[in-house]
Amino acid sequence: MTKLIAPVKKIPVYKVRKEALPARAMPDLVAVEEPLQIRIEWEGSGRWHEKSLYVTMRTPGNDFDLVMGFLLAEGIVQKLDHVLFMRYCRRVKETEEGNVVIVRLAPDTVCDLSHTDRNFLSNASCGVCGKSSIDAIYGRLAQKTIFTNSAISSEVIFQLSTFLDQEQTGFKYTGGLHAASLFDLSGKGLLIREDVGRHNALDKLLGAAFREGLLPSASRVVLLSGRVSFELVQKTAVAGVSVLAAIGAPSSLAIELAQKTGITLIGFLKSDRFNCYTYPERIHEVG
């Protein structure tokens, strides 16, 4: 049985306060960061192939959600039944136990990695690198433009961050985790996932939502705890989500991709204000 790794770790910390010297060590919790390697197996030319596909630094927990979200976002699989099963690898060193996931694709699933020329080797904050990679993603998303007549109330948007504040458990204890949350258009919180990496948190969320049948759907809202990069918009577009909101700022390329893919993009979200960058007509009292 695979030994799973805890998402937080207790360590001694010196919390120095000017009014309370000398400082002494006391136990505190920090977010765990560990590498996760994704390996895929698929059948072709009458035999099984195995490839080490991707390595990311992540917070352990919800690893299968992370893997599913990544595979869907990258177009390696298009449907849940393209994945036969996922499991932790048992043929690894003790130090790697719980850090290697094997994905076996269902028979007759076409495993085409030629759509991208970038190497799937990243750290927790890595995104798309290079103009050729961006052009390739634009091409893949050409048929992903989201059309919807659904609208959301600005009052609902104001309340989204409250859910994040209440449910982001790992951040409360460590201060070191990003979060991604899923809502319906009424503002009901459906799912939340946390990770040391922004991209991993969103992959975990989208993977869990696909596995639970909540996506793809244009009647969904994603909220991110940090800023919005190009790749986070790309992942949201693949999931068919029509509204992407964030506590932080979007980049110029993120705004451009949101416009092209039909996503209402919101940044600098607070309980009493936000900026809308694309498709404001989908928000009551805005467009």
Residue type, 71: L
Residue 114 lies in a domain: no
Residue 255 lies in a domain: yes
Residue type, 277: Y
Torsion angle of alpha carbons 11, 14, 17, 21, nearest 10°?
140
Tally helices (H) and strands (E) across the chain.
7, 14
Residue 139 lies in a domain: no
Residue with tokens 């007509």: 281
Q: Point out the catalytic residue in the list 111, 126, 129, 276.
A: 126
Taking a C-beta distance cutoff of 8 angstroms, is the pair 59, 96 a contact?
A: no
Residue 183 lies in a domain: yes
Residue 106 lies in a domain: no
Look up 89 and say whether it is catalytic: no
**Out of 43-57, 232-246, 251-265, least confident range:** 43-57
- Length of the chain in residues, anyone? 287
Could you give the number of structural domains in the chain? 1
C-alpha closest to that of 264 among 141, 72, 284: 284
Residue 24 lies in a domain: no
Residue 140 lies in a domain: no
Domain CATH code at residue 232: 3.40.140.10
Of all residues in the chain, the percent with pLDDT exceeding 90 is 59
Q: How confident is the model at residue 131 (pLDDT cuts 50, 70, 90)?
A: very low
Q: Domain of residue 248: give its range.
A: 152-284
> End-to-end alpha-carbon separation of the chain, Å?
54
pLDDT tens for 182-227 read 999 999 999 999 999 999 999 999 999 999 999 999 999 999 999 9
Q: What are phi and psi of 211, to 5 degrees?
A: -65, -30
Residue 12 lies in a domain: no
**Strand duo 152-153 + 83-88: pairing:** unpaired
